[in-house]
Structure 1
Amino acid sequence: MAVPPISSVSDIQNTQQMSNNLGQDDFIKLFMSQLKAQDPLEPVNNQDFLAQMAQFSLLESSRMTNEELARVRQIVDSTQGVGLMGKFAEVPSGSGTVLGEVVSVGFTSAGTVVSLKAKDNNGEEFYINDLPLTSLSRVFSGE
């Protein structure tokens, strides 16, 4: 019996927030349109121009920081996943929880996933594959 992975609410909200924000290219287009449409008799004030350039610089810095943090998060997730090898983990299921041994770790574009080897009520082994780390409710060092 496989437990299907589900996205967390925060992942969905982060994706929606990112699509609602203006990007670097959008900022440049707006800035260039403003420069083209300005009145030649009353050009943009130097202070306003510098403030906009500072905003552009801040936007670029923020974008680069977010990219670096995403890479750091991938490294932390993969290290955490490898550290779970051989340990026992609990996963919620429709009828309660399933306890199984972490037997493999995988790395996907969505993040780190693990596979559990568990036993049903009859003692038969089965595998639950591609579980995101966020779906594990508890981790044990022994059974």
Structure 2
Amino acid sequence: MPVDAIGSVLNTTDPSALPNSGINEQDFIQLFVNELQFQDPTQPLDNSQFLTQLAQFVSIEQQSEEVGGINNLLTIGSSGQSLDLLSHTVQVSNADGSTTSGKVTAISFTTNGVQLTVTGSNNTVIPNVQLSQVQLVTP
């Protein structure tokens, strides 16, 4: 999930978007259950192996929760950064490469990220400005 920052976009990578380099959590659980189900009753699974595999499963689960927590922190940071811009004068880059100055008069939080509304000196309203378009902030 990319998170907008002033002047650029932070490059965060969603782990689910990465190519599958091994087994995922569901595959691991399926293999683990199959191993328990089809083990030789005369030679059951060694307790140390069982505990090692269980520890690996717990580690995978904790890593997944950490990634989710980090993504939540990035979202909160982006929200706080945008709230600090309210009532400040900003210089915004437009799609054609030109810049426009104005005061941030509104902030909206959408599924596409934070959207600013900038009102120019001649009362022109520029809606849906992303944080990555902000070039300069003045008090």
TM-score greater than 0.5 by the shorter chain: yes
Alignment of 1:26-45 (within 5 A): 26-45=27-46
Per the alignment, residue 47 of structure 2 pairs with 46
Give me the whole-angstrom Cα distance separating, in 2, the residues matched to 1:71 and 1:125. 36
**Equivalent pairs, count:** 128
1:61 corresponds in structure 2 to 62
Name the CA shift for 1:137/1:38 in 2 (closer, same or farther; >3 Å): farther
Percent identical residues: 26
After TM superposition, the runs of 4+ consecutive aligned structure 1 residues lying more than 6 A away are none
Gaps of 5+ in 1: 1-7
Map Cα deviations across residues 4-56 of structure 1 (whole Å, 9 max, x no partner): xxxx5835xx24x4234565434322322333344445544333322221111
1:3 maps to none
Distance 1:37 1:137 in 2: 62
Identify if the C-alpha distance between structure 1 residues 66 and 131 changes in structure 2 by more than 3 Å, giving closer, same or farther.
same
The TM-score, its normalising length taken from structure 2, stands at: 0.70
Q: Tell me, which stretches of 5 or more residues in structure 2 are unaligned?
A: 1-8
* Candidates 117, 123, 126, aligned match of 2:124: 126
Q: Check if 1:97 corresponds to 2:115.
A: no
Of 62-71 and 79-88, more deviation after overlay is shown by 62-71
Compared with structure 1, are the counterparts of its residues 106 and 53 closer, same or farther at alpha carbon in structure 2 (3 Å cutoff)? same
